Structure 1
Amino acid sequence: MKKTAWITGASGGIGSAIAVLFAQNGYRVALGYQHGKQKAEALAQELCAAGFEALAVGGDLANRQTAFAAAQTIQETFGSLDVLVNNAGISQVGLFDCMTEEEWRRICGANLDSAIYCSQAASKYMISRKSGNIINIASMWGEVGASCEVAYSVTKAGLIGLTKALAKELGPSGVRVNCVSPGMIDTEMNAHLAAAEVAEIADETPLGRIGTPAEVARAVLFMAGEEASFITGQVLGCNGGLVV
């Protein structure tokens, strides 16, 4: 029986890579988006044209009602909701003492509130079937912190805490909760960095380069699969050895 994966932030580099890889591995995929409607719908059409089952589902997932409505739409369309990948997120670069309340609320909503509400919405279907997977996309900065990215680091650290606590709560219901924590990845989110900055980070990385969205996607697929059936509450680093 086919499984369904809901990937939030699927219009971005990592999200779209996850969606494509899951579809190629037999999953029906729901592509969550907020602002990237054109990209998400184009990807869904591309996947459907290739013979896969895909659906673009829009909305601001920092709103609890929207998150629950999206989960219900996916359940009703595909008949199940087996995997949730909380990938939606934004960055916020700047000095901590210059951060406004609006900026703080915005990044908390996008990075943390959305994951909590989507997890609540998806887990009710998983608990009823005694099976399911929730995979949170954090960041190495959530593990060690980053100067001038305090808010981003805090919200990503929150996802790691969510992973560990929710894994204990949902484990008895057969639902696994894990986290993939990427390092520097070649995405639009990091496009603001100068070439020299990227080269410096690559030089500091033991593998000598930055990562790709496809490499993060493969880590997520592993966590969702039977190969990881006895793994829950864990943080899988995908950072080239920069953080160990």
Structure 2
Amino acid sequence: MDLQSLFSVKDKVVLVTGGAKGIGRMISEAFIANGARVYISSRDAAACTAACAELNALPGAATPNSAIPLPADLSSLAECQRLAAELSSRESRLHVLVHNSGATWGEAYDSYPDKAWQKLLTLNLHRVFTLTQLLTPLLSASPSPSNEICLDPGRILHIGSIDALRVPFLPTFAYSATKAGLHHLSRHLAVELGPRGITSNTLACGPFPSKMMAATLSEFGDEIKGANPLGRIGMPADVGGACLFLASRAGAFVNGATVRLDGGVSLVSKM
């Protein structure tokens, strides 16, 4: 198979939650620039609309409407149901679901609030399952008629964190715990949904420039870069390229994997 076909996502239908900003925006841009049709969802409707207008102007955009805003408050069951129903009314197949929406909460142990757990457990973990469950019929792929195996499964990509693999130095207790839960949920879904023609994989992301990381990078940016074996933080091409691989024919046999997308920093001992 030629290189272009092997890594192609042209004409695929993609949903990126939290796709208007930060890592989600980087992922959305990678898919749009390579000919996919991308639905962008977050609770910030204005940000979704603005991001889509900018993405549709990219040279690789297949049409002037390759990026489509589909705002929703993804912490809400009713909103997840509405989003799934609306997407199902527009598309007969969803090729890629990227779970990127999430939140963090940093506060000292002695004052860490109960509401932090409620918020993060719902958005970072519970609604990932909810939305996956609702969109499973759209993601399911039929076997190839010729050989009765699925060569183009639906893909679920979970944007996890290296803080799910190690103990972070910041007091983000609910964040690291919910991301660890997300990593394991992805593996569980890989087993459950594989027979339905759907793969489930996780990107354990290290530091990338985003709103969530802005304060940390502002205060500790030089130290974070210096501690990384590659001497830098993540760039758009890093996360975009990983998603394109997992969503293309090249990544069709990857299922239940956790890819460390961190330059190796999570392997560095703090002792």
Range of TM-score over shorter length? over 0.9
Distance 2:48 2:88 in 1: 19
Match of 1:121 among 120, 134, 152: 134
Match of 2:71 among 53, 58, 69: 58
Distance 1:107 1:86 in 2: 14
Distance 1:12 1:41 in 2: 12
1:129: Cα distance to partner?
4.2
| Aligned residue in 1 for 2:4 | none
SS in 2 for 1:192: helix
Task: Determine whether 1:31 maps to 2:40.
Answer: yes
SS in 2 for 1:189: coil
Distance 1:194 1:24 in 2: 28
Match of 1:172 among 192, 195, 201: 195
Which string of whole-angstrom CA distances, capped at 9 and with x for unpartnered residues, describes residues 1-35 of structure 1? 8221000001221111111111121211000111x
CA contact (8 A) 1:8 1:88 kept: yes
Please, which runs of 5 or more residues in structure 1 have no aligned partner?
none
Task: Determine whether 1:132 maps to 2:158.
Answer: no
Please, which runs of 5 or more residues in structure 2 have no aligned partner?
1-9, 144-152
| Aligned residue in 1 for 2:24 | 15
Distance 1:49 1:219 in 2: 23
Q: CA RMSD in A?
A: 1.8
Distance 2:252 2:125 in 1: 26
Q: Where in structure 2 are the equivalents of 1:103-118 lying within 5 Å?
A: 103-118=116-131
Larger radius of gyration: 2
- The letter of the residue matching 1:222 is F
More helix by share: 1
CA contact (8 A) 2:186 2:256 kept: yes
TM-score, length of structure 1 as denominator length: 0.93
| Aligned residue in 2 for 1:242 | 265
**Count of residues in correspondence between the two structures:** 243
Task: Determine whether 1:149 maps to 2:157.
Answer: no
TM-score, length of structure 2 as denominator length: 0.84
Identity of aligned pairs, percent?
30
Change in Cα spacing, 1:84 to 1:194, as seen in structure 2 (3 Å) is closer
